[in-house]
Amino acid sequence: MPFLSNQIITRSHQPTAVDFISGVVILIDKPHGWTSFDVVNKLRFKLKHGLKVKKIKVGHAGTLDPMATGLLLVCTGKLTKEIDLLQAEIKGYTGTMFLGATTPTYDAESEPDAFFQTDHISINDIEKAVIALTGPLQQIPPIYSAIKIDGKASYNLARRGKEVEMKPRPVEIYKFDILNEDRHSMSFYASCSKGTYIRSLVYDFGVLLNSGAYLNGLRRVSIGEFSVDDALNVDEASSYIETVCGTGSE
């Protein structure tokens, strides 16, 4: 990727000479309960205050749902133009799913709306489902998502009780590994292309098992060559911005 070393801010690399206007990419470990915009808004405020400017571009490369944690790439200044490039990178996730039920949102943000048997599920069934969900797929996104339908976010339509028809989209699952064999709470690792909904992957997994499943926890562990292990938490990133701006760096 076309970034200089002093444009990448990580736990192990925090240069003191930084030009936030020309742009940097900050690796953030997003906390549970925060939206991706919450993180961007917090860092934008710190930058505007520290640089004493009225406006500075800040954006992120790939939304994480509030219940999800993990790697969020936050770009500043002119490097916000590279967000599309970063979003196109392969993303890696670890997560847990609950087998035997579904929810309207495909995750634990809503209450179960249907329950299913799980006793019939065999290891062979699981292996077949994993194979079927690996590779290029036509995936139907959750109706509770930010995808626009006639200019309106589908989740807003769904919340108002409107009938929402989600069209399948091409995605690719490069790796899908089930990490344990618990019939109710399965942990997994998945790497995938831009535009993939892990919630939909889990839902489809339940369907292929003639049962149901919903996402119970999610953590993004990588985006391309970047790892959450080298990411700053929000407070650390805020303190770093304050320190650098205090040195008089642009």
Catalytic annotation, residues = 65
The alpha-helical segments, DSSP class H, found in the chain are 36-51, 83-87, 123-132, 154-159, 198-208, 234-246
Nearest alpha-carbon partner for 214 in 173, 185, 171, 179: 185
The pair of three-digit structure tokens given for residue 55, joined into one six-digit string: 């406006």
User: DSSP label at 146?
Assistant: S
Q: Looking at this protein, which amino acid is placed at residue 24?
A: V
Q: Looking at this protein, which amino acid is placed at residue 70?
A: G
Nearest alpha-carbon partner for 239 in 35, 41, 19, 42: 42
The alpha-helical segments, DSSP class H, found in 52-120 are 83-87
What's the sign of the alpha-carbon dihedral 57, 61, 65, 71? negative
Q: Looking at this protein, which amino acid is placed at residue 189?
A: Y
Q: Looking at this protein, which amino acid is placed at residue 235?
A: D
Nearest alpha-carbon partner for 237 in 81, 18, 53, 5: 18
